[in-house]
Amino acid sequence: MALLVRVLKNRISISQWVPVCRRLLLVSHTQGQWGRALSGTSQMSQALACGGSVVDIQLSRKYHTTNKLSSTKDSPQPVEEKVGAFTKIIEAMGFTGPLKYSKWKIKIAALRMYTSCVEKTDFEEFFRRCQMPDTFNSWFLITLLHVWMCLVRMKQEGRSGKYMCRIIVHFMWEDVEQRGRIMGVNSYILKKNMMLMTNNFYVAILGYDEGVLSDDRGLAAALWRSFFNQKCEDPRQLELLVEYVRKQIQYLDSMNGEDLLLTGEVSWRPLVEKNPQSILKPHSPTYNDEGL
């Protein structure tokens, strides 16, 4: 009995109170490790005010320090590419420094990637399901959306990916201008429309970037403003397009970055998915040193 009293006294002497968010929590030494143990066996939680924010803490939960940090993805994150002082100087002057792969290979891959945006996209399905008129402007809005998704993916590949993004946008404007001339648009009107489309392009890119980083409501608002030009009255169309963008971004993220830099081959999921499980197994492209 005396031994039990002595052990209890030792435990009580070890316990101490520490300030947490301007309140006190009991810190106890348990199993050889220090941890914050909140007394009580109830599953109710209490709120502690921390500088205006509220932190919910369960009464029966214990918190321990750990050296392992949680990550958003199980796969390793890309390491930031290190560049020398000379490369930083020439890139600050507006030139492109040495890249991981030769520039002509990246240009060929960029052309392939843009071609996939205009040749592998089912424009007829977008016209039908989104109730869009079959016009040059509708074609541009659909192409812009797919080009933006390619830019989002390639910006994750360091300096080579960012260089590829510039080439993709360059090919897009060349194609837009060429298509306008083939349609017989007057040069003055074409130039004026190109300026308008350029402004819409940057507005849409900023809106899509903000929307994809937010929840579905934010992405739906961005699509409603830029893709539908604030004229969509059917929420089912917005829901369909939000789902399409989310799954397509996920599908592009599952593709190998090295393959995309060398081949530029991108396949697009259908607007209405018939086999949802197929998105988990992307097709790996083939590449040879000749860039063909």
- Per-residue pLDDT, 36: 36
pLDDT digits (tens, 9 = 90+) for 171-206: 999 999 999 999 888 888 988 999 999 999 999 999
pLDDT digits (tens, 9 = 90+) for 274-292: 766 555 555 555 555 554 4
pLDDT band at 260 (very low <50, low <70, confident <90, very high): very high
Residue 186 domain flag: yes
Among residues 180, 183, 201, 204, the alpha carbon closest in space to that of 191 is found at: 180
- Per-residue pLDDT, 203: 95
* CA separation for the pair 112, 94 (Å, rounded): 25
Residue 26 domain flag: no
Residue 4 has pLDDT above 60, yes or no: no
CB 181 within 8 A of CB 121: no
pLDDT band at 273 (very low <50, low <70, confident <90, very high): confident
C-alpha pair distances (Å), 147 with each of 116, 142, 217: 9, 9, 22
CB 117 within 8 A of CB 264: no
Q: Per DSSP, what are the bridge partners of residue 49?
A: 54
pLDDT band at 28 (very low <50, low <70, confident <90, very high): very low
Residue 227 domain flag: yes
pLDDT band at 92 (very low <50, low <70, confident <90, very high): low
Residue 87 has pLDDT above 90, yes or no: no
Report the share of the chain in percent with pLDDT over 70. Answer: 60
What b/e readout covers 144-155, taking b as 16+ CB neighbours within 10 angstroms?
bbbbbbbbbbbe
Residue 255 domain flag: yes
* CA separation for the pair 157, 24 (Å, rounded): 47
Residue 3 domain flag: no
Which of 60-74, 90-104, 123-137 is predicted least confidently? 60-74
Q: Say how many domains are in the chain.
A: 1
* CA separation for the pair 177, 89 (Å, rounded): 34
Residue 285 domain flag: no
Q: In this predicted model, which residue has the larger pLDDT, 82 or 252?
A: 252
pLDDT mean over 17-44: 39
Residue 55 domain flag: no
- The range of the structural domain enclosing residue 217 comes to 98-268
Angle (CA) 282 174 183, round 5°: 105
pLDDT band at 103 (very low <50, low <70, confident <90, very high): confident
117 burial level (CB within 10 Å; 0-12, 13-18, 19+):
buried
Residue 30 has pLDDT above 60, yes or no: no
Among residues 178, 153, 185, the alpha carbon closest in space to that of 168 is found at: 153
Q: In this predicted model, which residue has the larger pLDDT, 243 or 85?
A: 243
CB 258 within 8 A of CB 284: no
Residue 40 domain flag: no
- Per-residue pLDDT, 84: 57
N-terminal to C-terminal alpha carbon distance within the chain: 86
H-state helical runs in the chain: 2-14, 85-92, 103-119, 123-129, 136-154, 158-182, 187-213, 216-226, 235-253, 257-263
pLDDT band at 5 (very low <50, low <70, confident <90, very high): very low
Q: In this predicted model, which residue has the larger pLDDT, 34 or 89?
A: 89
Residue 74 has pLDDT above 60, yes or no: no
Which of 50-59, 109-118, 190-199, 200-209 is predicted least confidently? 50-59
